[in-house]
Amino acid sequence: MIDVSGTSQDFSQPLPRSQQIAQRLEQLQLPDHVRLVAVSKTFPSDVIRAAYAAGLRDFGENKIQEAIAKQAELKDLPDITWHFIGHLQSNKARKALQHFDWIHSVDSLKLARRLDQIAAELGRSPICCLQVKLLSDPNKHGWTESDLKQVLPDLAQLSHLKLEGIMAIPPYGLLMTETQSFFERAYALGQSMANHQETPLPIRHFSMGMSQDFPLAIAAGANIIRLGTTLFGSRN
Ligand SMILES: *Cc1c(COP(=O)(O)O)cnc(C)c1O
């Protein structure tokens, strides 16, 4: 028997995961002003590790417990920024603040107030996005345009949160042109909040665009996109 360990390379093997992710990243050719959040939900921590090796530092998760378990396994990677992107119940606000730097899915005044109160207690000041729902969508949470304008003065008083972003997900099944105008409306809504006469919010992050639609989102002004499938393949 000839020992070939370490000397042979099997070219039929797929690329190691981190190289695969690095390759996909390169193909994306994202503009410099666009921050990429790698959505690692349902994938184990070694996939996050591979993405980290490929240079990614922002990771998005949508379930608190799942994220905490992975974070524990990745303690040796100190410079990851964790983004919570799922629906957040008020009773999980504390855990979310303890384990995430960003919360993209602030979708009610009750939740916003709870987050603000606990952020004060914990001495944290998370960056938050207001999740908006510009078209009716039974599968999604979020503020309608008019609801959001109504609560603006209340939101402006929450001094412990950095309410600096808008997050929007188009309903499933829109045409490309409809998706485009959906993102444009979300962008315009954020701008109008930033320019509000009495109670402006410093909205400057536009978290919109997923694997299916991120080029349209970027064209409409997105500067944060959240990609899962494009980077990691399909989820089961
Ligand atoms: C799952 C998820 C994504 C990523 O979706 P892909 O289509 O896999 O890119 C982005 N944002 C949110 C809120 C998600 O839940």
Going by CA atoms, what residue is nearest to atom 12 of ligand 1?
A: 85
In a domain, 172, yes or no: yes
Say how many Å lie between the CA of residue 82 and the centre of ligand 1: 15
**Contact status, residue 158 vs residue 119, Cβ threshold 8 Å:** no
In a domain, 194, yes or no: yes
pLDDT at 65: 98
Assign residue 190 the CATH number of its domain: 3.20.20.10
In a domain, 39, yes or no: yes
Q: What is the mean pLDDT of residues 125-129?
A: 98
Query: Ligand 1: which atom is nearest the Cα of residue 211?
Result: 9
pLDDT at 9: 52
Domain that holds residue 170: 13-232
pLDDT over 50 (residue 6): no
Query: Ligand 1: which atom is nearest the Cα of residue 227?
Result: 9
User: Which of 131, 117, 125 has its CA nearest to residue 87?
Assistant: 131
Within 10 angstroms of residue 15's Cβ, the number of other Cβ atoms is 10
Cα gap 43→119, rounded to integer Å: 29
In a domain, 112, yes or no: yes
pLDDT at 136: 87
Going by CA atoms, what residue is nearest to atom 4 of ligand 1?
A: 228
Structure tokens at 10: 């099997």
Going by CA atoms, what residue is nearest to atom 11 of ligand 1?
A: 226
Q: What is the mean pLDDT of residues 67-89?
A: 97
Structural domains in the chain (count): 1
pLDDT in tens, 147-169: 999 999 999 999 999 999 999 99
Ligand 1 shell residues, CB under 6 Å:
39, 41, 62, 85, 169, 210-212, 226-230
pLDDT at 139: 80
| % of the chain at pLDDT higher than 90 | 90
pLDDT at 4: 47
In a domain, 220, yes or no: yes
In a domain, 224, yes or no: yes
Cα gap 209→18, rounded to integer Å: 23
In a domain, 228, yes or no: yes
In a domain, 58, yes or no: yes
